Amino acid sequence: MKILVPVKRVVDYNVKVRVKADGSGVETANVKMSMNPFDEIAVEEAVRCKEAGTATEIVVVSVGPAGCQETLRTALAMGADRAILVQTDLTTEPLAVAKLLKALADKEAPGLVILGKQAIDDDCNQTGQMLAALLGWGQGTFASKLVPGDGTVAVTREIDGGLETVELKLPAIVTADLRLNEPRYASLPNIMKAKKKPLETVTPDSLGVDVTPRLKTLKVAEPPKRQAGIKVPDVATLVDKLKSEARVI
């Protein structure tokens, strides 16, 4: 079984995000970029499937500018076999990404597509669901456990009040949640080996997809700054302030 894993390049989760002065978006110039953390989990799961003998090939895909090659090399160093960059400098919205992934899925015929449950930059949580709809495949979203079977995959999902396990007929779409696994760090020898693994670059046009953005960002604003705290002399004053000022008791 071939597994396709879409990986998005996003601002590193350790970076304190800054809004551009004109409010048009988030500053990405000279900012550390990394693989979306949920996509690292998706790559790790695919690599574990290959190690367990349930997957034969892992193809990673990224949609975005040339810099995404670095993200793809990281996935190759973690254990993916081959990478595809769909190169575009336009903002990539979930529907456009889902259409590109559908075109690639039609070509590559994977048994499983494992995506992250959401990209931490725009928090859309849409691409996997849209891809499942476009392909007409079953989907197991927010997976915390994945067990490949014979022509099926069992996906355990964290839902309100417990765990739900669904069985999907392959080919299928799975989106990875935080507790699915703990991704490995790429070792130096594997980083070196990854430089020689195949990385193909294609364009949205060559896949027959128009990625022109359909949404217009009106404004991006930082959350209001937290007020400084104050020290109170005694418990009585604290209780009084909680009652009269904060009104929480």
Identity of the residue numbered 77: A
- The nearer residue to ligand AMP, 128 or 171, going by C-beta atoms, is 128
Let me know: does 201 contact 79? Beta carbons within 8 Å.
Answer: no
Residues near ligand AMP (CB under 6 A) are 6-8, 36, 38-39, 61-64, 92, 94, 97, 115-116, 118-119, 122, 124-128
CA distance 184 to 41: 9
Q: Residue 139, CB half-sphere, CA atoms under 13 Å: how many? A: 18
- The nearer residue to ligand AMP, 69 or 126, going by C-beta atoms, is 126
Smallest gap from residue 152 Cβ to ligand AMP (A): 22
Smallest gap from residue 95 Cβ to ligand AMP (A): 10
Q: How far is CA 66 from its chain centroid?
A: 18
- The nearer residue to ligand AMP, 97 or 194, going by C-beta atoms, is 97
Residue nearest to ligand AMP (CB): 116
Q: Kindly compute the dihedral angle of the four CA atoms of residues 90, 17, 177, 173, in this order, to the nearest 10 degrees.
A: 0
Smallest gap from residue 116 Cβ to ligand AMP (A): 2
- The nearer residue to ligand AMP, 15 or 65, going by C-beta atoms, is 65
- The nearer residue to ligand AMP, 57 or 122, going by C-beta atoms, is 122
Smallest gap from residue 223 Cβ to ligand AMP (A): 20
CA distance 215 to 209: 17
Q: How far is CA 11 from its chain centroid?
A: 12
Let me know: does 33 contact 64? Beta carbons within 8 Å.
Answer: no
Smallest gap from residue 121 Cβ to ligand AMP (A): 8
Closest CA to 6 of 41, 50, 54, 55: 41
